[in-house]
Structure 1
Amino acid sequence: MLKRLILALAATAALAGVVQAQDRPAAPVYQVDPFWPKPLPNRWGIGQAAGVAVDRRDHVWVIHRPRSMTPDERGAALTPPRSDCCIPAPSVIEFDPDGNVVQAWGGPGHHPAWPENEHGIYVDAEDNVWIGGNGNNHHVLLKFTRDGRFLLQIGVHRETGGSNDTRRLGRPADVEVDTATNEAFVADGYGNRRVIVFNATTGAYLRHWGAYGRQPPPDDPIPAYVAGQPPSPSFGNPVHCVRLARDGLVYVCDRQNDRIQVFRRDGTFVREIFVAANTLGNGSVWDIDFLPDPAQSLLLTADGENNTVWLLAREAGEIIGRFGRNGRNAGDFHWVHNMAVDSRGNVFTTEVDTGKRAQRFRLVTPLPR
């Protein structure tokens, strides 16, 4: 009898190990590509690189902040020129997979509601380019064609109404479009504390929610994050990203609360995942994306306070690896702000503050099948 019990316990433990192994895929290995992107043409330089996206062609789109370039960085654009380099590049730059510039457009004056401080970029399945902004007066989301022709504005420039206003935004940080339903999910944002959903063609309001799927509370000041205290009942500022998984789940970056909250498409709360939960300052969850294997088994998290990319087993919600550290060399980060993953699993990152660059990290291990 005792022998049978021991065998049964051993079998149960083995089964648990198999399940755990399935929940915890092996950590992929990444290697920085110091030659991506290629040198920019036209004596262009870039400022704070505030967003990155990969389109269906595996072209990489970067949005940067030309106005953040210092006088010595834009010396060739001064009158008289201060130096032979550089000239601020247009705000939106499209690269091919090899890092060559395909086209560039946008920047101050491109549209009357062009953001004071560019923030976030997304390219949908129809090659439309969406951008946000986190300037103090920027409360709109803009949609353009691939070549920069204006299509849609959501929100009212210079007007905001709080986290339960269905017409106006509050410094939106990020957007992603659900192709199946034609819905635009917005991380809103630096002023508001919610996810809000619109029709991606008309901009008509559909629904919104706050932390835990509840109606957002009044936008009063909230206490600073303290590690080890009970989780905040509200999103902090900023609600920094929103990502849609193939299985219908919505992942939201609650940056300063060091957590990812997960919802169904209708706003029903599913779970939360804490990442480097002792992180103070600007928080640990700045952006996320998925490994492109069939199960999207890995969740990658850009952390601009610890200046690393965390690798999490998506199902288990546990860290299994990381790459990058604080520094200025290739492969290091200073305020890694956004990230995107291409169809091969390569990772593209952008940096703000004084980082002001985009980098590519090649996946050197096979994608899970």
Structure 2
Amino acid sequence: MKLKNKVLMGVTLAVSLIGLSLGQSMMNATDATAQSAKAPSFEVDPFWPQPLPNGWILGNVIGVAVDARDHVYIVHRAWGDGIFKPFAELGLQQGTSICCTPAPPIVEFDADGNLVRAWGGPVEGAPYVWPDSNHGIEVDHKGNVWIGGNGRGDSHILKFTNDGKFIAQYGTPGINEPDSNDTTHFSRVAKISVVEETNEAFIADGYGNRRIAVLDADTGEFKRYWGAYGEKNIVDPTERYRHDPSTPPSKTFTGPVHCVEPSNDGLIYVCDRSSDRIQVFDRAGNYKSEVLIAPETGAQGSTWDLDFSRDADQKYIYLADGQNQRVYIIERSTMEVLTKFGGGGRQPGLWFAPHSLATDSKGNIYTTETYEGKRIQKFIAKGITDIPAMDQGALWPAGELN
């Protein structure tokens, strides 16, 4: 009887929510009911990647991307920028002890977790300005590597070949004042995603500006931009956003605009992190819908980065929540949270601030951690199975917890 009552209560609640949302484009993500019984399942691989050579160690791992060969690229903060000091711990500065040396900021692994190459960073006399605090990484359909920056004065984007040869710098570095309506520079970019079909780069611009900007991926020509709800004339907020779940969502992106992810069916998914929301647009910037994820979350918010399952319909969204230390599995057609996994901790399958997320061709998930986390983890796809719990905790290999 108790189970029956719970199901009836869930159905009643769902009907009420639908009634309340009629005529509105916004909906809140709800937990899965007993009728949503299956979802993708995963298992952490505690042996991926292989140890780095040369005494290298990672700083805040601030972006992850997967190329057509299932090679995994990360970008991390290999030095401090006045805000982040990833190697301030005793013994981690080069030359102070046996351990350790910061790895170059861009590191490439093959599918087995072996190091392929590492490169990047400031170079005297280079024709580009390396960001004070690199942030986000993209490998486009031509194999080129894009990074942005979110340090103070980072107002540009860099593009390289996958072995580190410089291609282009877009935007004007060194501009500290945000202006979301300016078409000559960016302001503290969080992420870049390139759409092969249109050859356009979509920019989550980001920490200073509050918009999505779109460039021609070959020439860097500025094509268009938009803000929250598709607004074309953006009024940047003058004060830091203070989260209050009892008030309506902000009419502007409160920031950071932390992810931009194109789907195969022509939609653009945007993470507005401190507002605990995902907004969905078409590629032209026309607003489609909004969903709140864990809207009671304060501080840095719940929507940090996302990617899609690799089936043709991209049926599922995987969303990294660095504040609550979880990854959500969401049914894309309904934006319903089916289940979540992870938790706070330093063991495999747990996180200290899961920051970025990407999937490979086999459906495996890769997550990175910033702050004290400073690592990348792999979660092996195990197929569609019954949902064992709404909050699954650490996804250790079967039998390892017994």
**Same fold judged by TM-score > 0.5?**
yes
Which residue pairs with 2:209 in the alignment? 192
Q: 1:158 aligns with which of 151, 165, 174?
A: 174
Q: Say what the alpha-carbon RMSD is for the aligned residues.
A: 1.8
**1:173 has 2:190 as partner:** yes
Q: Secondary structure at the residue paired with 2:202? A: strand
**1:26 has 2:31 as partner:** no
Q: Is the 8 A contact 2:178 2:208 kept in 1?
A: no
Give the drift of 1:27: 1.5
Q: Is the 8 A contact 1:48 1:69 kept in 2?
A: no
Change (3 A) 1:301 1:73: farther
| Greater mean alpha carbon deviation, residues 186-195 or residues 109-118 | 109-118
Gaps of 5+ in 1: 1-12, 14-19
Which residue pairs with 1:242 in the alignment? 260
Which residue pairs with 2:341 in the alignment? 323
Aligned equivalents of 2:270 and 2:88: distance in 1? 33
Which residue pairs with 1:88 in the alignment? 102
Give the drift of 1:198: 0.7
Which residue pairs with 1:61 in the alignment? 73
What is the correspondence of 1:69-148 to structure 2 with a 5 Å cutoff?
Answer: 69-72=87-90, 74-75=92-93, 77-78=94-95, 82-109=96-123, 111=126, 112-148=128-164
Q: Is the 8 A contact 1:244 1:251 kept in 2?
A: yes
Q: Secondary structure at the residue paired with 1:168? A: coil
Q: Is the 8 A contact 2:41 2:384 kept in 1?
A: no
Give the drift of 1:118: 1.4
Aligned equivalents of 1:224 and 1:249: distance in 2? 29
Using the aligned pairs only, state the percent identity.
Answer: 46
Change (3 A) 1:83 1:317: same
Q: Is the 8 A contact 2:241 2:254 kept in 1?
A: no
**1:361 has 2:375 as partner:** no
Amino acid paired to 1:264: D
Amino acid paired to 2:361: S
Aligned equivalents of 1:283 and 1:161: distance in 2? 21
Which residue pairs with 1:309 in the alignment? 327
Aligned equivalents of 1:199 and 1:91: distance in 2? 26
Q: Secondary structure at the residue paired with 1:364? A: strand
Give the drift of 1:161: 4.9
Give the aligned length.
344
Aligned equivalents of 2:170 and 2:241: distance in 1? 30
Amino acid paired to 2:216: N
Which residue pairs with 1:208 in the alignment? 225
Q: 1:286 aligns with which of 299, 304, 314?
A: 304
Aligned equivalents of 1:26 and 1:73: distance in 2? 47
Gaps of 5+ in 2: 1-14, 16-31, 80-85, 386-402
The one-character-per-residue Cα deviations of 1:260-303 (angstroms, maximum 9, x if unpaired) are 00000000000011111110010000000000111100011000
Change (3 A) 1:84 1:281: same
Change (3 A) 1:131 1:24: farther
Aligned equivalents of 2:164 and 2:348: distance in 1? 31
The one-character-per-residue Cα deviations of 1:63-102 (angstroms, maximum 9, x if unpaired) are 1111122253524x22xxx321211111000000110000
Aligned equivalents of 1:73 and 1:245: distance in 2? 44
Aligned equivalents of 1:90 and 1:200: distance in 2? 25
Which residue pairs with 1:296 in the alignment? 314
The one-character-per-residue Cα deviations of 1:279-330 (angstroms, maximum 9, x if unpaired) are 0010000000000111100011000000110111111011001111011111
Q: Is the 8 A contact 1:24 1:315 kept in 2?
A: no
The one-character-per-residue Cα deviations of 1:20-61 (angstroms, maximum 9, x if unpaired) are 99x968221111100000000111111110110000100000
Q: Secondary structure at the residue paired with 2:40? A: coil
What is the correspondence of 1:6-45 to structure 2 with a 5 Å cutoff?
Answer: 26-45=38-57
Q: Secondary structure at the residue paired with 2:189? A: coil
TM-score calculated relative to the size of structure 1: 0.90
Aligned equivalents of 1:61 and 1:333: distance in 2? 19
Q: Is the 8 A contact 2:38 2:384 kept in 1?
A: no
TM-score calculated relative to the size of structure 2: 0.83
Aligned equivalents of 2:310 and 2:91: distance in 1? 37
